[in-house]
Amino acid sequence: MSETVDLLVIGNGIAGISAALEFRRLHPTGSVLVVSDESSYFYSRPALMYVYLRTLKLEHTYPYEKKFWRKQNIALKQAKVIALHPPQNSATLSDGSTIHYRYCLLATGAIGRELNVPGYLLAGVQTFTNLNDLAKLEAATHPKKLPRRAIIIGGGLIGIEVCEMLRSRHIPVTFLVREPWYFPLALSETEGRLVEEEIRAHGAELWLQSEAREFQGSGKVERVITQDGRVIEADLVVVTIGVTPRIDLAQRAALACERGILVNEYQQTAIENIFAAGDCAEVPFAGSRRLELLWYTGERQGKTAGANIARLVKGEAMQPYTRDIWFNSAKFFTLDWHNYGDTNTPVGNKREFVFRFPGEKKVLRLVYGEGKILGFSSLGLRLRDKICRNWIAERRSVDYIIEHLKEALFDPEFFKTNLKALQTTWAARR
């Protein structure tokens, strides 16, 4: 069986779907096929934890109604692409069919990174990034047969979600984090400590500066040995040390790859009619390259790719991927975290003002250079996207911001934040 389409999208995550929709918007008649192996419909990957928590069913995480795809005239297929043949402009699917394409987008995403220690392949050791992992975790933590203890390895954004999930079933958890405080990649020590309080308040054991050296067990994991020789008995290990782009398909098709599939500023690979976007793509950045492993970057990259493909089909010029001011958000148990602009640990003549509100689970951190704001990080309180990004773009002074901070708060009505305390501390500091 063989079929020809204008655009073949591999992967129905946020990147692939954004590309398909943007292509459809700009090119109402072109044929689009989205092939994905994981699920038949586009679902929200960051919502996986809510399916485990039973607050959502998988269906609730589908951002579009099923009939939407028919209306958009976007064909969906659940299958794995097992080979890509650039010279023939075709792809071979796991169901035996062949798809001929004019353009192809690789949006294959990423999977949990493996931990290179003995015993990693034992049963009971897993990652948490997709539906397959979710099913494994469900089986391993069935309410009728809970593990004696679970160990989470790696303190990032996914690790703490897994911690919340496992604690929701009252499973004893030991959380091994390599760094001196929680998530120094994005959080200051003050913020990290607050997150640690939160983890411990929810009943997990948190071991900082701890790494796993070995997993032991006969056939199934039974214990973990740490670098400093401590032994923890456990029947479940969840490794959350980051993700690895899925580039095997691209590599076999001889596309240039480093950590991800290399693309130019138009999301185009070295082969003119093959594009890549999302977690699997390595994009040019400030004279170098980087992976952008976020939901909204996946959406932006996907949109750029879809639009550029539509433009090529119509004989128009492509437009580059543009970045706005960086932002991100997360939730650490009950703590909201909002983040705008450059909030990296300041070096050189950059500075930061970190304020923990007395007696509250709230921290606000402002990063600035030469008195001008560069970035905001708020933990336990919400900040208004538009105001924060405007202030960064307008290079407002920190004095101005501290004075007008009220405008930037995005907490629900009736929430009180003791801005006075923050303002006096800032004034005293100067």
Binding site for another protein (CB under 8 A): 14, 44, 46-47, 50, 55-56, 60-63, 65, 295-296, 299, 327, 329-331, 334, 336, 338, 382, 384-386, 389, 410-415
The nearest distance, CB 337 to ligand FAD, in angstroms, is: 10
Query: Restricting to residues 209-268, which ones interact with ligand FAD according to CB under 6 A?
Result: 246, 249
Q: Are strands 81-85 and 90-93 parallel, antiparallel or unpaired?
A: antiparallel
**Residue 239 interaction partner, one of another protein, ligand FAD, none, beta carbon < 5-8 Å per kind:** none
Q: Is 14 in the site for ligand FAD (CB under 6 A)?
A: yes
The smaller minimum CB distance to another protein, of residues 55 and 424, is found at 55
CA angle, 190 then 183 then 265, to 5°? 120
Q: Render 386-398 in DSSP notation, one character per residue.
A: HHHHHHHHTT-BH
Quick check: 44 and 87 in contact, CB under 8 A? no
The nearest distance, CB 296 to another protein, in angstroms, is: 5
Written as six digits, the tokens of 19 are: 């590309």
Cβ neighbours around 169 below 10 Å, total: 14
The nearest distance, CB 347 to ligand FAD, in angstroms, is: 25
**Residue 217 interaction partner, one of ligand FAD, another protein, none, beta carbon < 5-8 Å per kind:** none
**Residue 336 interaction partner, one of ligand FAD, another protein, none, beta carbon < 5-8 Å per kind:** another protein
**Residue 241 interaction partner, one of ligand FAD, another protein, none, beta carbon < 5-8 Å per kind:** none
The nearest distance, CB 294 to ligand FAD, in angstroms, is: 4
The nearest distance, CB 228 to ligand FAD, in angstroms, is: 29
**Residue 16 interaction partner, one of another protein, ligand FAD, none, beta carbon < 5-8 Å per kind:** ligand FAD
CA angle, 240 then 11 then 265, to 5°? 90
The smaller minimum CB distance to ligand FAD, of residues 16 and 119, is found at 16
Q: Which stretch binds ligand FAD (CB under 6 A): 38-46, 66-74, 164-172, 258-266?
A: 38-46
Helix (H) or strand (E) holding 138: helix 131-140
Q: Render 12-51 in DSSP notation, one character per residue.
A: -SHHHHHHHHHHHHH-TTS-EEEEESS-SS---GGGHHHH
Distance CA 407, CA 119 (A): 53
Q: Are strands 125-126 and 223-226 parallel, antiparallel or unpaired?
A: unpaired
Distance CA 24, CA 400 (A): 44
The smaller minimum CB distance to ligand FAD, of residues 66 and 314, is found at 66
The nearest distance, CB 282 to another protein, in angstroms, is: 22
The smaller minimum CB distance to ligand FAD, of residues 36 and 210, is found at 36
Query: Restricting to residues 292-321, which ones interact with ligand FAD according to CB under 6 A?
Result: 293-296, 298
Alpha helices by DSSP H, listed for 45-124, are: 48-52, 66-72
The nearest distance, CB 288 to another protein, in angstroms, is: 24
Query: Restricting to residues 137-196, which ones interact with ligand FAD according to CB under 6 A?
Result: 157-158, 161
Q: What's CA 106's distance to the chain center, in Å?
A: 18
Cβ neighbours around 125 below 10 Å, total: 24
Entry field: residues in the chain: 430
- The candidate with the shortest Cα–Cα distance to 284, out of 309, 261, 307, is 261
The smaller minimum CB distance to ligand FAD, of residues 131 and 232, is found at 131
Helix (H) or strand (E) holding 231: strand 231-233
CA angle, 108 then 242 then 11, to 5°? 10
The smaller minimum CB distance to another protein, of residues 97 and 328, is found at 328
**Residue 382 interaction partner, one of ligand FAD, another protein, none, beta carbon < 5-8 Å per kind:** another protein
The smaller minimum CB distance to another protein, of residues 219 and 412, is found at 412
Helix (H) or strand (E) holding 98: strand 98-106
Distance CA 290, CA 283 (A): 6
Instruction: Using CB under 6 A, count the residues that bind ligand FAD.
Output: 35
Distance CA 217, CA 7 (A): 48
Query: Restricting to residues 85-144, which ones interact with ligand FAD according to CB under 6 A?
Result: 107-110, 128-129
Phi, psi of 141 (to 5 degrees): -125, 35
The smaller minimum CB distance to ligand FAD, of residues 49 and 318, is found at 49
The nearest distance, CB 330 to another protein, in angstroms, is: 7
Q: List residues near ligand FAD by CB under 6 A.
A: 10-16, 35-38, 45-46, 48, 80-81, 107-110, 128-129, 157-158, 161, 246, 249, 278-279, 293-296, 298, 330
